[in-house]
């Protein structure tokens, strides 16, 4: 198995991050520093990162959480803010969050120790649809809705791909929307809506591909069903 893939499967981050660990000289194989990204790890090889043994688990675990607002999607935080790891049951503390859901947003967040599958979920080229429900101040006009769907370029040059925007309800000068994206850039939906002058007062991710949050209570978790795991592996 190629070294970056081996390290990712062992829980050391994305393949790109693992490549950086290799080129930085932090990886040893059988006691010798290895910086060749083309190195194929054999079953008998002893691989370490900064002295810590790397070994893909024999069994992968897949979990979903209904992340509440007020939690960082991070393993640790240098400002001592609450992280999603605090909500994981002790027996699942070894899992890592897949992608991010910002501090003020809630909804579906996946966890796994399967690094390769996690990367496939996040890769834009896989075009995995993420579905969000948002509520904004003001009434979203049809002109603005159509403009959002065509793709947006911010004043700083940031570009967002085409998306699907549906108006679910307009009430008391507030609009409830369903938004489907395939990129998942940092704070993408908030930035798109802000570009049209809309302040987001609620944002919730309700689905990733065919996996739906359903009625899972805020702050709780459940293991994925077999059909959900098969979907993720099909990516």
d(Cα 9, Cα 92) in Å, to the nearest integer?
17
- Segment 77-86 long-range contacts (CB within 8 Å, at least 24 positions apart): 84/109
11 within 8 A of 115, measured Cβ to Cβ: yes
Is 140 buried (19+), middle (13-18) or exposed (0-12) by CB count in 10 A?
Answer: buried
Q: Which two tokens stand for residue 181?
A: 């994206």
d(Cα 180, Cα 185) in Å, to the nearest integer?
13
Which entry of 45, 50, 77, 102 is annotated as an active-site residue? 102
Q: Which two tokens stand for residue 115?
A: 């690094």
Respond yes or no: is residue 78 known to be catalytic.
Answer: no
Q: Active-site positions?
A: 102
């Amino acid at each position: 198995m190629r070294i970056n893939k081996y390290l990712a499967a062992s829980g050391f981050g994305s393949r790109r991050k693992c490549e950086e660990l290799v080129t930085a000289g932090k990886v040893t194989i059988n006691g010798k520093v290895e910086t060749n990204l083309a190195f194929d790890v054999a079953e008998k090889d002893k691989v370490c990162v900064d002295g810590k043994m790397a070994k893909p688990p024999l069994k992968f675990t897949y979990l979903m959480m209904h992340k509440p607002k007020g939690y960082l999607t991070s393993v640790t935080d240098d400002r001592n803010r609450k992280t999603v790891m605090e909500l994981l049951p002790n027996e699942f503390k070894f899992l890592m969050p897949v992608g991010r859901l910002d501090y003020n947003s809630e909804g579906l967040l996946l966890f796994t120790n399967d690094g390769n599958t996690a990367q496939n979920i996040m890769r834009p080229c896989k075009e995995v649809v993420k579905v969000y429900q948002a509520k904004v101040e003001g009434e979203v006009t049809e002109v603005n809705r159509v403009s959002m769907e065509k793709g947006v370029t911010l004043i700083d040059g940031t570009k967002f791909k085409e998306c699907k925007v549906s108006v679910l309800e307009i009430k008391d000068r507030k609009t409830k929307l369903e938004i489907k994206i395939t990129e998942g850039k940092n704070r993408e939906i908030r930035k798109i809506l802000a570009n049209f002058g809309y302040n987001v007062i609620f944002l919730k991710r309700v689905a990733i591909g065919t996996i739906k949050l359903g009625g899972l209570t805020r702050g709780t978790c459940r293991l994925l069903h077999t059909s959900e795991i098969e979907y993720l592996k099909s990516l």
